[in-house]
Structure 1
Amino acid sequence: MSVLRIFAINQPEQARFSSSNAHEISAQLQQQGVQFTQWQANAPIDENSSAEQVMLAYASDIAKLQQQQGYSTVDVISLHPSHPDKAVLRQKFLDEHIHTEDEVRFFVRGQGLFCLHLGDEIYQVLCQQNDLISVPANTPHWFDMGSAPDFTAIRFFNNTEGWVAHFTGSAVSRQFPLLD
């Protein structure tokens, strides 16, 4: 179940808002310029599905989003609890950073926690299977995939380089709850 929690930046121990209602999550995020929606697969997907199978299952949604937003590159990322670099990857994503393009992820399976630093608030969005989130360019944020990552996500990019982060140097991400 998807969850949105909103914290005041100076009160990381207590969320001032929490909801697991997808419509309410979408409305709250939309007020901040963040897109949150849900898609349904046209074919069953599991941890053994290939990138090609995943892309085929969501082909019409992918094409529609590419046409609407101009994303030139789409790929599939899968991480499993046995991944040898899971700790290093997790640590890299946990540092607050920005991108010069939107960060768009669709969770085919599993989950991940996007934490958005929006003014004097932190929006934590637990994205799970069927959730699509689009974090606007230049939005400070971090991502937690958990200590035992187990997810597959479709990523959309406006450039051919893929994921390029510009780290802010802020320690704010160390103050808020993690996925586990």
Structure 2
Amino acid sequence: MTLLTTWPDSGPAAVVRRTSDPGEIAAALAPLGVRYEQWPVRDDVPPGADPDTVMEAYREEIDKLNAEEGFATVDVVALHPGDEPGWAEKVRAAREKFLAEHTHEDDDEVRFFVSGAGVFYLHVDGEVHAVYCEKGDLLGVPKGTTHWFDMGTRPSFTAIRFFHEEDGWVGTFTGSPIAERFPDFDTLHAGYLRDAA
């Protein structure tokens, strides 16, 4: 269940909007220039599938989107709980980087969730829109949009990333501590599980 929650950017005391309806989510995000759509879920692609398997499974959708947008690079990123040395530190460092509010001045941030979940927080026009994405969701955040991303303290996701620029992910950080005022992934995920039960 995808979930959109909108609050005033002063804090989460009042909810402006909360919906899990895909049509309502797309309609609410469209005026912000944010692309939201759902692709068919390939249940035969396991969470730990290698990048070639993931790319091949979604080749038709990737090619269609690439024909529309003309991306320079398409790749797969995956982060799943592991026991290898340094895993917890790797996760902590990555999470801190993405939790900091930032923009991308030269490229959109386009992600398709193959498995798992993550939350994009869009800070636009005095509001914060938390988009809880799960497998099957594609979100396109336009360049210049102030946002942050949370994957939780024990991330588990595989995503296809689309870049117009060869440089890939390049963030310009605002220095704002705003992310600290809003419910994080773990909090939203716990609510998601309660709602789905």
TM-score, with structure 2 as normaliser: 0.88
Aligned-pair identity (%): 43
* Equivalent position amino acid for 2:102 in 1: H
The structure 2 residue matched to 1:90, chosen from 87, 95, 103, is 95
Query: 125-134 or 168-177, which moves further after superposition?
Result: 168-177
* 1:1-180 pair list within 5 angstroms: 1-41=1-41, 44-82=44-82, 83-84=87-88, 85-100=90-105, 101-180=107-186
How far does the alpha carbon of each residue in 1:40-89 deviate from its partner, in whole angstroms, 9 at most, with x for none? 14561112311000000110111111110111100000001223401110
Query: 61-70 or 11-20, which moves further after superposition?
Result: 11-20
Instruction: Give the aligned CA root-mean-square deviation in angstroms.
Output: 1.1
Q: Could you say if the C-alpha distance between residues 43 and 19 of structure 1 is closer, same or farther in structure 2, counting changes exceeding 3 Å? A: closer
* Equivalent position amino acid for 2:115 in 1: R
Q: What 5-or-longer segments of structure 2 have no aligned partner?
A: 187-197
Instruction: State the secondary structure of the residue aligned to 2:185.
Output: coil
Aligned length: 180
* C-alpha contact (below 8 Å) 1:115/1:123 kept by paired residues: yes
Instruction: State the secondary structure of the residue aligned to 1:5.
Output: strand
Q: Could you say if the C-alpha distance between residues 97 and 151 of structure 1 is closer, same or farther in structure 2, counting changes exceeding 3 Å? A: same
* Equivalent position amino acid for 1:124 in 2: A
Deviation >6 Å, runs of 4+: none
- Provide the C-alpha distance between the structure 1 equivalents of 2:49 and 2:19, rounded to a whole number of angstroms: 31
- Provide the C-alpha distance between the structure 2 equivalents of 1:43 and 1:7, rounded to a whole number of angstroms: 34
Query: 14-23 or 147-156, which moves further after superposition?
Result: 14-23
* C-alpha contact (below 8 Å) 1:41/1:57 kept by paired residues: no
Q: What 5-or-longer segments of structure 1 have no aligned partner?
A: none
* C-alpha contact (below 8 Å) 1:36/1:131 kept by paired residues: yes
* Equivalent position amino acid for 2:49 in 1: S
